[in-house]
Chains A and B, each alone.
Chain A
Amino acid sequence: MTAAAEGSQPLSLGRRQRTSLLQSEAAQGFALISPTFIYALVLLVVPILVVVAHSFWTQNYLTIDRTFTLENYRIAVTEPIYLDLLRRSLWISLLVSFFTVVLAYPIAFYISFHGGRHKGLWLFLITIPFWTSYLLRVMSWKVILGYNGVLNSGLMGLGIISEPSTALLYNTSAVVITLTHAWAAFAILPIFVSLEKIDRSLIEAATDLGDGPLRRFLRITLPLSVPGIVSAILIVMIPTVGDFVTPKLVGGKDGVMIANAIQAQFGKGANWPLGAALSVTTMLVVTAMAASTVLIIRSAARMAR
């Protein structure tokens, strides 16, 4: 820790002390964060580079041929099956992030502006369901939406339908419902945080200047909460694309997503390079989609102001 201080040039005393102090502070900070940083490098950055490398190679039964090729990408973006899966996954994750954010916003707004003393309790109440086993939550939706499920028997009990509907489970909307539920807290929290940061005197000023509640909301609260909406979208949209549990349990044939294909390549299919190319393509495309969504929202917010 003192190495940096000892190595500094002999300058005039005051300056030397200051630079050595700065250097040693930076060095100490680095030294302290380096174990975590190195961990992230070794288990995150290196593996992703390895995946990218694999995506340019070819699988030869049990060995991997390391000559550069774009064949995997050609398959990933031209094979109708992968294209369809990718398109459907993007569509599902777009829907899921739209619904989670739209449904979460009023809750975050309510807690932030009307939560009073119980803000902490509300947040706790909202996060609790998300700590229960993910598999079991998906399973519960299967129980709710199934042929003999809770919703069907409830609707029949009320006389709304005469026989159980098969339209509830094993399709895209079942996947969307389950994921919208699964990611709710991840949308509420960032939006809540950004609403909390809004200076309340701005809203008072708008009221004093004669803005009604709706105008006030559209011109001040909503634009200022855009950072929260943006991080909510990022935090929901990107991971959603990579889910293979939900599609497998409640998606049926129509709900299969790209992650199921990726999983197959690393399991039974055993074509790592193709799986790697599918992963990289998915990541790039979903990042592009998330980035453009964020851009659209930001420019809309700028126009609103």
Chain B
Amino acid sequence: MTAIRNILSRWLPAYALLYVVFLYLPVVFLPIFSVNTSPSPKFPLAELTLQWYRDLPNTPALIDATRNSLMVGIAAALLSTILGICAARAITRYRFPGRRAINGLIMAPLVLPEIILAVSMLLVMLQLGLELSLVTVVFGHVLVCIPYSLSVLTSGFEGFDRSLEEASADLGETAFGTFRRVTLPMVAPAIISSLLVCFTISLDEFIIAFFLTGTEPTLPIYIWGQLRFASKLPGVLALGTLLLVGSFLLLTVAELLRRRAARRTQNAGGAFA
């Protein structure tokens, strides 16, 4: 018995630490090899350089891909958050028959292989005669973003106290005034957090974009193309490092906002709870 207690108190934290190292292991090599002069990623590092970072802005294809990705990401984030708001509000506020089934359907893309989603949307779009473009990529990304948006928003909306809205109406505030001064401040953090999470997912999504894009590549597709050339690796690593820092900042903001939203609505549930 004492042996087990020992395991729990000593080995479990050590294991937790080791596990975190395992999780971060591949991530830390991106920045390390991105400042290495030698194009092949191995230790010991040849020499430190920022050359790969300086080359990035001088690559027109990369600039185009970045612009495409930003546009797709913003559109997908807006659209999936709007659809997420509708669904989250309906699910947390109203009871209606089929609620669970509809919720299950909306969350389903989370547990389906992305390649299946991608090829099935591809077939439909081609049948409908839609030209593959960044617009079709946005449609695809919205489908996979909605489950995340819905989780974040439901956790933000759940503890939402309706009596506050009613009180505001009773005190003579107009419907719009109530929305602007009571509802919005309470749900805004969750909405912003959903926007950021969806944007990050779209920015990083590869499989769906790979099938649904026409001639304009998004960033992951550009990276996929570069991975074929060993000599392009350091540039890709530099780009990856920048993306890593960017996503980290966005998600930190999203997480802080989500926590604030959860505190405001007196709800302690996590995004995935």
Docked CA distance A107–B22 (Å): 12
Partner of B86, one of A32, A50, A132, A242: A32
- Measured CB to CB, the nearest residue on chain A to B250 is A131
Contacts of B41 in A (CB 8 A): 143, 149-150
CB of A40 within 8 A of CB of B227, answer no
Residues of chain A contacted by B223 (CB below 8 angstroms): 133, 135-136
User: Cα distance A262–B90 when bound, in Å?
Assistant: 37
Most buried by A among B27, B97, B113, B117: B113
B124 near A47 with CB under 8 A, answer: yes
Check if A129 sits within 8 Å of B27, measured CB to CB: yes
Contact A35 B83, beta carbon cutoff 8 Å = yes
> Nearest Cβ in chain B — how far from A142, in angstroms?
9
Q: Are B200 and A266 in contact (CB under 8 A)?
A: no
Asked, given contacts A47-B124, A50-B124, A144-B25, whether A136 binds B19 with beta carbons under 8 Å apart, the answer is: no
Given contacts A48-B120, A131-B200, is CB(A110)–CB(B146) below 8 Å? no
Binds B, one of A9-17, A70-78, A165-173, A275-283: A275-283
Which of A22-30, A80-88, A198-206, A297-305 contacts its partner?
A22-30
Nearest residue in B to A111 (C-beta to C-beta)? B16
Q: What total of chain B residues lie within 8 Å of the partner, measured CB to CB?
A: 85
A33 touches B90 (CB 8 A): yes
Q: Is residue A91 contacting chain B, with contact meaning CB distance below 8 A?
A: no
Residues on A with C-beta less than 8 A from B255 are 124
Query: Does A120 reach chain B (CB closer than 8 Å)?
Result: yes
Is A295 an interface residue, CB under 8 A from the partner?
no
Q: Does B76 contact A (CB under 8 A)?
A: no
- Max chain B C-beta neighbours (<10 A), residue from A131, A137, A240: A131
**Inter-chain contact B123/A135, CB cutoff 8 Å:** no
CA distance A304 to B53 in the complex (A): 57
Q: A32-B94, A128-B248 are in contact. Are A136 and B243 (CB under 8 A)?
A: yes
B48 within 8 A of A: no
| Inter-chain contact A242/B114, CB cutoff 8 Å | yes
Flag if A150 contacts B42 (CB, 8 Å).
yes
Query: Which B residue's beta carbon lies closest to that of A48?
Result: B120
Select A239's contact among B26, B106, B113, beta carbons within 8 Å. Answer: B113
Contacts of B40-60 to chain A: CB distance below 8 A: 40-43
* Majority DSSP secondary structure for residues of A touching B: helix
A140: interface (CB < 8 Å): yes
Within 266-288 of A, Cβ neighbours of B (below 8 Å) are at: 266, 272, 275-276, 279, 282-283, 286
**Smallest CB-CB separation from B252: which chain A residue?**
A124
Q: Is B93 an interface residue (CB 8 A)?
A: yes
**Chain B proximity of A154: nearest CB distance (Å):** 7
Task: Known A25-B95, A43-B139, A136-B236; judge A214-B113 contact (CB<8 A).
Answer: no
Could you tell me the distance between the alpha carbons of A109 and B167 in the complex, rounded to whole angstroms?
43
CB of B122 within 8 Å of the partner chain: yes
| A283, B122: Cα distance in complex, Å | 17
- The answer to whether A7 has its CB under 8 Å from any CB of chain B is no
Given contact pairs A125-B20, A266-B211, A133 touches B29 in the complex (Cβ within 8 A)? no
One digit per residue, 1 when the CB lies within 8 angstroms of any chain A CB and 0 when it does not, for chain B 196-224 equals: 00001000101100010000000010011
Interface residues of B in 85-106 (CB under 8 A from A): 86-87, 89-91, 93-97, 99, 102, 105-106
Interface bin, chain A:
35 or more
Interface residues in B1-19 by Cβ distance below 8 A to A read 1, 4-5, 8, 12-13, 15-16, 19
Closest A residue to B211 by beta carbon equals A266
Given the contacts A193-B272, A239-B112, A36 and B86 also touching, CB distance less than 8 Å: yes
- Are A33's CB and B272's CB within 8 A? no
- On whether A131 and B247 interact (CB within 8 A), knowing A106-B12, A193-B270, A234-B111, the answer reads yes
Q: Encode A101-143 as 1/0 by CB contact (under 8 A) with B.
A: 0010011011100100000100111111101111111011101
Question: Once bound together, how far apart are the Cα atoms of A262 and B150, in whole Å?
Answer: 30
B220 CB contacts on chain A under 8 angstroms:
133-135
A→B interface (CB under 8 Å): 25-30, 32-37, 39-41, 43-48, 50-51, 54, 103, 106-107, 109-111, 114, 120, 123-129, 131-137, 139-141, 143-144, 148-150, 153-154, 157, 181, 184, 189-190, 193, 196, 212-214, 234-235, 238-245, 249, 259, 262-263, 266, 272, 275-276, 279, 282-283, 286
Q: Beyond the given A44-B120, A46-B124, please list 7 additional residue pairs across the A-B interface where CB-CB is below 8 A.
A: A39-B143, A44-B105, A44-B108, A131-B248, A143-B41, A144-B29, A150-B41
| 3 closest residue pairs by CB, A with B | A242-B113, A29-B94, A140-B26
